[in-house]
Amino acid sequence: MNIKIICVGKLKEKYFKQGIAEYAKRMSKFAKFQIVEVPDEKAPESLSNAEMANVMEKEGARILDKIKDRDYVYALAILGEERSSEEFAAEIDKLTTYGHSDIDFVIGGSLGLAPEVLKRADTQISFGRFTLPHQLMRLVLTEQVYRAFMINIGSPYHK
């Protein structure tokens, strides 16, 4: 199984990198895990709607370039469907049982995900209506994927 997180921008904070590395190491017995960073589009602080659409379109094209045709894609979106950890674990288990060995998670930039990326996604998932920094979301997502594997093997980690 291959798990890939595709995200906009670079992760600079050492403490986030360390946390992600720890969960990636733990996850290595279940799946090949990688994070793919695509460059964020440089833009001024205040943008018109057309400029925002242009930024999202460019970032979206970079994201889509990293997704293979057969990949199962989760787009992280505030308006996506919320799941419990147990529901998420069951979903991952079902995907792998039915031949989806390549699963991608997409985290957009500060403006969100382009409509083209949302359209390509097989499902949209939300971690709640809070707005979280993209860097923190990478860590939270990595931990939840690891937790899903632990739930699926019946580990007490989840309790």
Residues making up the binding site for S-adenosyl-L-methionine: 76, 108
Residue in 122, 57, 59, 133 with CA at minimum distance from that of residue 95: 122
Q: Is 8 helix (H, G, I), strand (E, B) or coil?
A: strand
Are the beta carbons of 114 and 65 closer than 8 angstroms? no
- Give the count of alpha carbons within 13 A of 35, CB side only: 22
What is the rounded CA–CA span in Å between residue 64 and residue 60? 6
Binding residue positions: 76, 108
Structure-block tokens of residue 158: 């989840």
